[in-house]
Amino acid sequence: MSKRDYYEVLGVESNVDEKDIKKAYRRLAMKYHPDRNPDDSSAEAKFKEVSEAYEVLSNSEKRAAYDQFGHAGVDNSAGGGGFHSGSGNFSDIFGDVFGDIFGGSGRGGRSHVQRGADLRYNLDLELEDAVKGTSVKIRIPTQVGCKECGGSGAKKGTVPTDCTTCGGVGQVRMQQGFFSVQQTCPRCHGQGKMIKDPCHICHGAGRTEEYKNLSVKVPAGVDNGDRIRLTGEGEAGMHGGPPGDLYVQIAVRPHKIFTREDANLYCEVPISFADAALGGELEVPTLDGRVKLKVPPETQSSKLFRMRGKGVAPVRGGAVGDLLCRVYVETPVKLTGEQKELLRKFQQTLEKGGNKQSPKKSSWFEGVKGFFDDMKL
């Protein structure tokens, strides 16, 4: 019986790449697999046909010969056209195509080199240090390469050997019927290596725990949530792998005077009734020292004053923020009899002046009166 064209068997064009060939084979193999069609002999025949086609078309040399000479170009190399012969077998084919589903890595095995883990350190800063920048000494626990064994985990003078179960690949192949599934080697746990004589310092781990002193340069303008990365200061890698990084997480402590929003600073300034009414000049703090704040006459409580350029220079660049001072008129307490009498006289003079000296009070009461009048309608 003449064989069908292999591209036709897989349902692909002759110019497709290896990825599309593998995709087509996977779909058809799952469809016609005997385990899914136990009582269908035609499905088993189709399964063998698509597997034979895949074995040829997935091999660059066999595919080139097939493209040039057809089935005659691959019959000899394939040992009579059976997909169990030649350089590989169906178990290898099926394992290569479906290995990624079950965690396999194909025929090439896996790399045992592992990058070290990244570490995180929480650094609390005062607002002044966050705004102006500083250098901080920190001490962190970390895993470093064992100096006794050089990170191999084996006793000094010895080296790890290939695992006798997986042959150094780190995985073993389990086969049941037509299925071939790769799994992590149960003996070496995927490392591919075995240590007969462990290092007496690290006990075969290849790493030891140490404390490391580091100097962290905090740039000016950092804020809550910012991170500083120290490359290579994380945990040591496994089997010669590169170390991880250390991430310093910034947290700015609450300040007694200032609060920060992005590049701006805010503070609350209490002022006396006299200063609010008559105006005056106050000293207010900034992170660079004291400055004068001119309060105009008739200043109302909660008035916001902006002092440009007295905020924060953002760490990522941009305009320097401002300092915004909100003034609050403070009601005097523990008045003497004389002070109370003076205030009563002052209150009487205000009442004689009408509503023009308390415009907000007047407008508020008018609004209340209108509210109740509307309720009567």
| CB contact set of 329 (below 8 Å; sequence gap of 6+) | 270, 271, 272, 273, 276, 299, 300, 301
pLDDT of residue 100: 45
pLDDT of residue 87: 39
Quick check: pTM over 0.85?
no
**Of the options 1.20.140.10, 1.10.287.110, 3.20.20.70, 3.40.50.150, the CATH number for the domain spanning 6-98:** 1.10.287.110
Task: Domain ranges for the chain, please list them.
Answer: 6-98, 119-252, 259-330, 337-376
**Of the options 2.60.40.10, 3.90.930.60, 2.10.230.10, 2.60.40.1260, the CATH number for the domain spanning 119-252:** 2.10.230.10
| CB contact set of 136 (below 8 Å; sequence gap of 6+) | 123, 125, 129, 215, 216, 218
What are the pLDDT digits (tens) for 2-53?
688 899 999 999 888 888 898 889 888 888 887 778 778 888 888 889 888 8
Assigned CATH topology for domain 259-330: HSP40/DNAj peptide-binding domain (2.60.260)
* Across 192-215, average pLDDT: 85
* Across 135-158, average pLDDT: 85
* Across 340-363, average pLDDT: 76
What are the pLDDT digits (tens) for 80-124?
343 333 334 444 445 455 544 444 444 444 455 678 889 999 999
pLDDT of residue 3: 80
pLDDT of residue 105: 43
| Residue 128 banded pLDDT, cuts 50, 70, 90 | very high
* Across 308-335, average pLDDT: 91
353 pLDDT more than 70: no
CB 207 within 8 A of CB 151: yes
pLDDT of residue 359: 64
